[in-house]
Amino acid sequence: MTATAANALDFSRFAEVKRMARGDSPEAYKEIGREFEAMLFQMMLKSARDTLPGDSLFGGNEMEIYQDMFDQQAALAVAAQGRLGIADAIAAQLSGQSVRPAIPGTVEGEGLRTFKGIDRYSVMASATAQVAGATALKAVDDSTPTSAEDFVASLLPHAQRAAKALGVDPAVIVAQAVLETGWGQRQIRASDGTSSNNVFGIKQSHGWRGAVVNTRTTEYQGGQAHQQTAAFRSYANLDAAFGDYVEFLSGNERYRDALGAGTDARRFAVGLQRAGYATDPAYARKIIDLLPRVRLHMATASAPAAINNG
């Protein structure tokens, strides 16, 4: 029987996967595999679309957002069919199975076909692990996460509290922090190398009485990127950083429309850009593009076995 594709806008499925993962459920491994396969397929669709010229008549941010929503749903539908075999490979890796799952195109009982002696399963498992960012990143200091999943896990409880206070989706808050810091690897630092914990790129403004860090930043003028030095707020810890983020948005009238989007992550991101949160003309789109990967890491943060431990 063919599995039914989940609704791309039903984010409760991630919470369900997380709940199942706590119980070391094989079904959770399958769901994690399907979500990851969908994410890969969506990345393929995006890469293909990026090679095409833009639509000057019907293009624009709104059209791109709806196209992204369509691609997410299409990716989920493909993953539900299980025809790529990636989900099965990931599920087997997570569960530590010694029996390798069948790959489409092989004959039952024949075993895995090889190409010039290379095991197709091993190649596929290795490739998916690399795409997931499973290779640990070299730490600069204790404030630099060793992996994307570690970074998301460190932000999650703070993001959940901030999201509740603002009435928005916690995933979009994490995605914004991921964009601003490059998955935690490009955090704003003081001259001695210590982190400012400013994961949202909030600059010093009139009335700010806290610590400040001066650093180089990229700003856009007329669509062109320029380097300049700017003063950014510095915080003692992430709790203070997220608290200030909540005050910064809720205390500025210009972000009213963004907060009015509620749990609609895409509308919130577009609202931030329209309100002038950043000068990057593609700021909202970049946040939206990060959402599938962020949601995957959020769903698997407490899984008993991570992909990079396979």
Catalytic (active site) residue 219: yes
Q: How far apart are CA 237 and CA 180, in angstroms?
A: 17
Q: Which of 71, 219, 239, 253 does the annotation list as catalytic?
A: 219
CA dihedral 50, 53, 54, 56 (to 10 degrees): 180
Catalytic (active site) residue 244: yes
Which residues on adjacent β-strands are paired with residue 189?
195
Q: Which of 68, 180, 244, 289 does the annotation list as catalytic?
A: 244
Three-state SS letters, the chain: CCCCCCCCCCCHHHHHHHHHHHCCCHHHHHHHHHHHHHHHHHHHHHHHHHCCCCCCCCCCHHHHHHHHHHHHHHHHHHHHHCCCCHHHHHHHHHHCCCCCCCCCCCCCCCCCCEECCEEHHHHHHHHHHHHCCCCCCCCCCCCCCCCHHHHHHHHHHHHHHHHHHHCCCHHHHHHHHHHHHCCCCCCCECCCCCECCCCCCCECCCCCCCCEEEEEEEEEECCEEEEEEEEEECCCCHHHHHHHHHHHHHCCHHHHHHHCCCCCHHHHHHHHHHCCCCCCCCHHHHHHHHHHHHHHHHHHCCCCCCHHHC
Kindly give, in sequence order, each residue whose CB lies less than 8 Å from that of residue 69, ignoring residues fewer than 6 positions away: 8, 9, 266
Residues recognised as catalytic: 219, 244
